[in-house]
Amino acid sequence: MRGRPAPQRTIVVDGKPLPEVLDEAMVHAVVHGFYDEIRRDGLLGPIFNGHIAPDDWPAHLARMCDFWSATLLRTDRYEGRPLPPHLAMPELQETHFRRWLSLFRATVERLCPPEVADLFLDRALRIAHSFRLAIAFHRGEASIAIAPISRDMLSKETPSPGGKG
């Protein structure tokens, strides 16, 4: 049976239509640009490089592209559970999450139009808060005082290669 082609589905994120400029190429640029900064960062680089072997970086980047594609473009490419690897890192602290978010903010603001940067950052802030709560619970720490990190709390510094800010 033939019929009309299915209408193109409008993706809605947080009650707003997804900007058409956000596509797989932009997700790829953000993920690769962000992790380039992470790997060179004085605070986060040693953690990421200590947990991800050099030969494993291409697979990790592909997985992160799948994650962000599923998160924002609503694709079904990502299969996995992102929290467990983070629970296994006893060195993760509040300063690491703030730095991660600051680098992420700088990356999306550099590479994306403002409305797309906002989508990425809003989602990253939620994910970070969820991870911080789960890590505290996993460690047997009180989570009642863990407040969300807001964009106003993040550094607007431009990342510097090999530096901490």
Strand 16-17 and strand 12-13: the pairing is antiparallel
- CA 38/CA 90 separation, integer angstroms: 18
Distances from the Cα of 133 to the Cα of 44, 53, 155, angstroms: 20, 27, 22
pLDDT mean over 37-52 = 95
Is a pLDDT exceeding 90 seen at residue 157?
A: no
Distances from the Cα of 105 to the Cα of 48, 50, 143, 155, angstroms: 18, 23, 25, 9
Residues 102-111: b if buried by 16+ CB within 10 A, e if exposed: bbbbbbbbeb
Asked whether 106 and 151 are in contact (CB, 8 A), the reply is no
The residue written with tokens 């640009």 in the block is 33
pLDDT digits over 75-126, tens only?
Answer: 998 988 988 888 888 888 899 999 999 999 999 999 999 999 999 999 999 9
- CA 17/CA 72 separation, integer angstroms: 11
pLDDT digits over 59-70, tens only?
Answer: 999 999 999 999
Is a pLDDT exceeding 80 seen at residue 4?
A: no
Q: Which residue has the higher pLDDT, 124 or 8?
A: 124
Q: Is the pTM of this model over 0.75?
A: yes
Q: What is the pLDDT of residue 87?
A: 86
Is a pLDDT exceeding 80 seen at residue 5?
A: no
